[in-house]
Each structure stands twice: as C-alpha cells, then as structure tokens.
Amino acid sequence: MKEHLLPAIKLTLISLVFFCVIYPALIGGIAQVSPNKGKGFLVEQKGKVYYENIGQAFYSDQYFWSRPSAVSYNAAGSCGSNKGPSNPDYLVLVQQRIDTFMVHNPGVKKSDIPADLITASGSGLDPHISPKAAAVQIKRIAKSRNLSEAKVTELVNQSIEKPFLGLFGPESVNVLQLNLKLEKL
C-alpha cells in the first residue's frame, strides 16, 4: 500500500485539474454561446422576468392553476410529497383538493378532473399540466375574465406542447406561458 500512496496523491491532484477545472471550464465556456448563457431559459413580459422551466403557484380564479406542490413553488429548494399511495392522511388531502377544485369550478364533473391536478409533482416545481387539466379550467377562466369559452379554448389548444417529434412522450401545457398569453388578450 505504501508504494502506491505517493503516486495516488499525485494522480489525484492532476485529475482534479483535468476533471474539475478544465472540463467544467470548457462546458462553462460553451454555456456562454448557449441560449441565456447557461442561466436557464428566461421569459420576459411587461418588464418582469420569469424562468420558463420553473413552475409558479397560481391561486386566483383568473389564472390557470398549476399542480399542487410540496414546496409551494419556491425554487430555493425542491421536493416531492413522498407520500405513499396508501397513506390515509395523504388520501384525505387528495379529497380536500378535489373538494376545493369543485368549489372554485362549479359545474365541473368530478370525473373530468385529471389526476395531475390533485397530486403533487416530483420536483414541486413542475411547470406543466396536462391538456385535460387546462381544459377543465377553461370555464372558470372565461367567466372570471369575461371572455368567451371558445376564445380561451383556442388559446389552450395553441399552447399544447406536442410529444417529442410528434411521436414520443405525453402532451403537456406550460402553465406560465399559458397565463402570460392570457394576460396579453
């Protein structure tokens, strides 16, 4: 073991330079020519800047709501609820979410509420909801903003992100982008 100690220390030092200085510096350099210089995608509207990929909490009736979050969309951290599927406290919470949704969206059938609207995401920062989750909120938005339902439906349909290459993965709607478009109407 002794004969290996000095070479091991030296090899570690030079590896540190190579993998922890040169490699990240190279990627950091490439970041400077990437969109938004490696600081995440930003969107700007009315002088305010938001992160496109970081979901936000919406609670007023005139915005599309995001999914429930275990960190209330504060991206200083990230966390899922880590509740097991059979946890009784958790199931009570889900029932409360359904009830709250029904109160704010009168006339919606319970069976039309999609699962993503009443379950917390893995990151707590999920920027998306499913197209169904957007559709079920159209009535409320149209009413509180005095818009026609057809107009809001059109906006939602425009905002649906298709599967990758049209072939792989689910469809989704970015809630922040959708609400920003709503503000522009």
Partner 1 sequence: MSYTELLGVLLFFFATFLLAIPLGKYIAKIYAGEKTLLDPIFNPIERTFFKWSGIDATKQMNWKQHLSAMLTINMVWFLMALFILMNQSWLPWNPDGNPNMTADLAFNTSISFLVNCNLQHYSGESGVSYFSQIFALMFLQFVSAATGMAAAAVLFNALRERISDQLGNFYNYFLKSATRILLPLCIIVSVILLFRGTPMTMEGKDTMISMEGDTIHVSRGPAAAFIAIKHLGTNGGGFFGVNSAHPFENPDYFTNIVEMVAQTIIPFAMIFALGFYLKRRKLAWMIFGVMTLEFVLLVVPAIISEVQGNPAIQAMGIDQSQGAMEGKEVRFGAAASGYWSIITTVISTGSVNAMHDSSMPISGLTQLLSMMVNAIYGGCGVGILNFYVFIILAVFISGLMVGRTPEFMGKKIEAREVKISMIVALFHGFLILVSTALASSIFINNPEIGWLNNPGFHGFSEMLYEYTSSSANNGSGFEGLGDNTPWWNISTGIVLLLSRFIPIIGPIAIAGILANKKYIPESAGTLKTDTATFGLMVFAVIVITAALSFFPALTLGPIAEYFSMR
Residues 123 to 152 in contact with partner 1, rule: CB under 8 A: 123-130, 132-133
What SS3 class is residue 164?
Answer: strand
> Which residues, other chains included, contact 166 with Cβ-Cβ below 8 Å and sequence gap of 6+?
none
Task: Indicate the residue type of 144.
Answer: S
Task: Tell me whether residue 31 or residue 142 sits nearer to partner 1 (CB atom).
Answer: 31
Interacting span for partner 1 (CB under 8 A) from 73-81, 137-145, 149-157 = 73-81
Task: Tell me whether residue 111 or residue 146 sits nearer to partner 1 (CB atom).
Answer: 111
Q: Is 184 in the site for partner 1 (CB under 8 A)?
A: no
**Residues touching partner 1, count (CB under 8 A):** 102
The residues in 37-66 that bind partner 1, with binding defined as CB under 8 A, are 37-41, 48-60, 63
Q: Is 106 in the site for partner 1 (CB under 8 A)?
A: no
Taking the C-alpha atoms of residue 68 and residue 153, their distance in angstroms, rounded to an integer, is 23
Among 44, 88, 107, 184, binds partner 1 (CB under 8 A): 88
Q: How far is the CB of 138 from partner 1 (least distance, A)?
A: 17
Quickly count: other Cβ atoms within 10 Å of residue 179's Cβ. 21
Task: Tell me whether residue 105 or residue 130 sits nearer to partner 1 (CB atom).
Answer: 130
Task: Tell me whether residue 61 or residue 147 sits nearer to partner 1 (CB atom).
Answer: 61
What DSSP designation does 163 have? P
> Which residues, other chains included, contact 26 with Cβ-Cβ below 8 Å and sequence gap of 6+?
none
What DSSP designation does 77 have? S
Quickly count: other Cβ atoms within 10 Å of residue 65's Cβ. 22
Q: Is 30 in the site for partner 1 (CB under 8 A)?
A: yes
